[in-house]
């Protein structure tokens, strides 16, 4: 359901999850964080992205710009990965009888991140036919991981709001419109994807100037919201918790406001952008930590056992997941 509907919106509006600016910001912040620790290691990590370059178009030829690769392939042959872009926790203030999308219970951003980490942590027991020892699975998972960690930090990628207007869910604000300060109408979800409209001008492939502007902006975000700003939140390390944090923002900040009015105010607009900056910084730090965790302390190759797909369990037991 969501797939078809959202796909239509995306095709009509030509938009995507966190628009390119937001995704590249997360990746750029992660890049800066890893470079600061170990530049050689960063180069090694980026090879997992660039090894696929000959199979990709000009928009995703480096670590930062590849952050949107998952969107590049989404509308085409690879749309079975669609669910990995979000996690639909229900927001259900009016207590509707809601049947959750079964696919998203299994294939979502939480399971996607875990799967990518699992794959990237693996050593292959049969020699790979490239001198980097990077498998095709790992190359794909690296590109997906950079993207999904970003999406998970967009609050509206972690919620589906049901009420008597949106009995089938509002798809994380994709069915709702708000009025910007200049009275222009915008889809609520897109408002957050676009960084409260402030990060919507980074078309890929980036020019050199845009690249340095993005980089400068990432330094600003890190300076304004350093790791120390987040205190205990830096110790929150599971994708489940990150999704919950994002959901909480939607629950406590976004929906209470849009329930009252669809006309945003200067105060709410400013606060939204600050929250977005925080989320982008957090996403960048966490992405860096994931990658450092995988690659920094890699020891000699251990014998790999055959992959067990943690996602292929039957959904039959999940069909009971109905909330009142």
Ligand X SMILES: *[C@@H]1O[C@H](CO)[C@@H](O)[C@H](O)[C@H]1NC(C)=O
Residue 3 or 293 having the CB closest to ligand X? 293
Residue 59 or 177 having the CB closest to ligand X? 177
Site string for ligand X, 116-135 (x = CB under 6 A): ---------------xxx--
Q: Please identify which residue in 76, 77, 129, 182 interacts with ligand X, judged by CB under 6 A.
A: 182
**Does 38 sit near ligand X (CB under 6 A)?**
yes
**Does 185 sit near ligand X (CB under 6 A)?**
no
Q: What is the DSSP letter of 301?
A: P
Residue 73 or 293 having the CB closest to ligand X? 293
Give the total of residues touching ligand X (CB under 6 A).
35
What is the rounded distance in angstroms from the CA atom of residue 295 to the CA atom of residue 121? 8
By the 8 A CB rule, do 148 and 112 touch?
A: yes
DSSP string across 190-244: HHHHTTTTTT---PSSPPHHHHHHHHHHHHHHHHHS-HHHHGGGGG---HHHHHH
Which stretch, 66-74, 138-146, 150-158, 207-215, contacts ligand X (CB under 6 A)?
207-215
**Does 187 sit near ligand X (CB under 6 A)?**
no
Task: Output the CA torsion sign for 244, 247, 253, 255.
Answer: negative
Tell me the Cα Rg of the chain. 19
Tokens (6 digits) for 48: 């997992």
CB of 82 to ligand X, least distance (A): 19
Residue 9 burial by Cβ neighbours in a 10 Å radius (0-12, 13-18, 19+): middle
CB of 274 to ligand X, least distance (A): 17
Contact residues toward ligand X (CB under 6 A) are 38, 40-41, 44, 131-133, 161, 163-166, 176, 180, 182, 184, 197, 209-210, 213, 231-232, 235, 255, 258-259, 292-293, 296-297, 301-303, 310, 313
């Amino acid at each position: 359901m969501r797939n078809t509907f959202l796909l239509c919106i995306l095709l009509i509006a030509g938009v995507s999850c966190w628009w390119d600016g937001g995704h590249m910001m997360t990746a750029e912040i992660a890049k800066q964080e890893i470079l600061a620790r170990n530049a050689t290691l960063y180069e090694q990590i980026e090879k997992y992205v660039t090894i696929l370059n000959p199979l990709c178009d000009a928009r995703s030829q480096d670590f930062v710009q590849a952050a949107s690769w998952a969107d590049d392939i989404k509308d085409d042959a690879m749309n079975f990965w669609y669910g990995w872009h979000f996690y639909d926790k229900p927001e259900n203030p009016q207590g509707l009888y809601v049947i959750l999308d079964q696919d998203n219970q299994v294939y979502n951003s939480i399971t996607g991140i875990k799967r990518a980490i699992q794959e990237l942590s693996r050593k292959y027991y049969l020699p790979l036919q490239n001198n980097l020892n990077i498998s095709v699975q790992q190359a794909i998972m690296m590109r997906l991981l950079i993207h999904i960690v970003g999406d998970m930090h967009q609050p509206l990628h972690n919620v589906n709001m049901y009420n008597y207007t949106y009995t089938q869910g509002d798809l994380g604000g994709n069915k709702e419109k708000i009025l910007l300060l200049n009275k222009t109408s915008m889809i609520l979800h897109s408002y957050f994807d676009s960084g409260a409209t402030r990060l919507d001008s980074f078309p890929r492939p980036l020019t050199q100037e845009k690249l340095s502007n993005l980089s400068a902006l990432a330094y600003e975000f890190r300076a304004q919201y350093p790791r120390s700003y987040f205190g205990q939140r830096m110790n929150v390390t599971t994708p489940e918790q990150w999704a919950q944090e994002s959901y909480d923002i939607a629950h406590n900040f976004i929906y209470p406001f849009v329930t009252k009015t669809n006309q945003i105010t200067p105060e709410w607009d400013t606060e939204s952008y600050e929250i977005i900056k925080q989320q982008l910084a957090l996403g960048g730090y966490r992405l860096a930590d994931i990658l450092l965790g995988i690659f920094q302390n890699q020891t000699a190759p251990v014998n790999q056992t055959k992959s067990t797909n943690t996602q292929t369990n039957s959904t039959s037991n999940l069909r009971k997941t109905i909330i009142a």
